[in-house]
Amino acid sequence: MTQPDKLIGDGSFRYLPEENWGCIQDSWDVRVVAGVGIDPQDRLYVLTRGKPAILVMNPDGQVLEHWGDDVFDRPHGICIPGNGAIYGVDDHAHIVFQFDMEKHLCMTLGQRGIPSDTGYTMEHKHVERGAGPFNRPTSAALAANGDLYVTDGYGNARVHCFAPDGTLRFSWGEPGIGPGQFQLPHGILIDRDQKVYVADRQNNRIQIFDLNGRYLGEWTGFIRPAAMCFGPDGNMYIAECKRSSIYTGAPSRVSIVSMDGTLLARLEDGDVYDESMGHHTAHSICVDSQGNIYVGEVGKKIPSGYFGLRKYKRV
């Protein structure tokens, strides 16, 4: 019997954290999950910053396969668009990989280890100007016409659009707080109407564009939004980089909004953040066909043996 005090969420959006979900081997290091995606069969693709690099899991938490340990420098994002491709984003290598469903590397965008010149370095963490691909890219999304859109990222302030053959079509964005400007474009999502949503993380907003990069509007009221996905109900689910030092079973923060930007519900931990204790934060998100939410977490000083992918069952 579900205990009411264990349910999280608001109104009709109520969820039960599934404790001890995920059949993970003790020898694996999967405390930090940078990305998570889901295919049409509800298989989860889990991108970790340990080993294994990529886990493929079913909704019951069983690992079906794992791979990718020798591919990534520092995994950041994964995109499973349902077209038979897997896109992996590596921010330290300045690379976007395209694999097929048999795990064969089909295409590489960017030059490994060679960032574009934006004035940003690991020592000087300030983006002075927008530039070409890539300087620590973060995420990718596929449009219906086959073009790939990539947010770029920690060391840049742009979105890049690539043709299916990998040719750069165009880019937009500069550092700043105005429309079409970014302070860490972190997550990207494209809806059925071909609107492009960009999680402008450090500006605490989601900006909306058409496929040509024309600014259409923005949603505000978030805490460092990191990633977005759509649920089977047609709503958008947003993982926010609110930091929490407690592990109650709730995500640090997930917001559910309708497609006009109206806030419908929030799942979140308490407002406890203690730097000395370390923290976890919601970094990636997907929703399966039953409406269950999966949240990938990153952070510092995460407890040993922790699995950084959390499942929240819709009830």
Domains by residue range for the chain, with CATH: 71-220 (2.120.10.30)
Is residue 277 pLDDT above 90, yes or no? no
Please compute the mean of the pLDDT values over residues 143-160 and round it to a whole number.
97
Mean confidence (pLDDT) of the chain: 95
Burial of 50 (0-12, 13-18, 19+ CB in 10 A): middle
Is residue 252 pLDDT above 90, yes or no? yes
- Residue 273: the pLDDT is 80
Is residue 5 pLDDT above 80, yes or no? no
What residue has token string 């950041």? 76
**3-class DSSP state of 90:** strand
For the chain, what percent of residues have pLDDT higher than 90? 88
* Long-range CB contacts (within 8 A, 24+) of 286-289: 286/36, 286/37, 286/38, 286/44, 286/229, 287/38, 287/229, 287/230, 287/231, 287/232, 287/237, 288/38, 288/42, 288/44, 288/59, 289/42, 289/232
Residues 24-77 pLDDT 10s: 999 999 999 999 999 999 999 999 999 999 999 999 999 999 999 999 999 999
- Candidates 251, 257, 252, 223; CA nearest to 237 is 257
- Residue 226: the pLDDT is 98
Is residue 3 pLDDT above 50, yes or no? no
Report the relative pairing of strands 279-287 and 293-300 from DSSP bridges.
Answer: antiparallel
Residues 58-71 pLDDT 10s: 999 999 999 999 99
Is residue 121 pLDDT above 90, yes or no? no
SS3 breakdown of the chain: % helix, strand, coil, rounded to 5? 5, 45, 50
Measured in whole angstroms, the distance separating CA 79 from the mean position of its chain's CA atoms is: 9
Q: What is the DSSP letter of 303?
A: P
101: Cβ contacts below 8 Å, ≥ 6 apart: 84, 85, 86
Distance CA 68, CA 71 (A): 5
Q: Quote the pTM value.
A: 0.96
Residues 133 and 116 sit within 8 Å (Cβ to Cβ): yes
Is residue 216 pLDDT above 60, yes or no? yes
Burial of 274 (0-12, 13-18, 19+ CB in 10 A): exposed
Is residue 107 pLDDT above 50, yes or no? yes
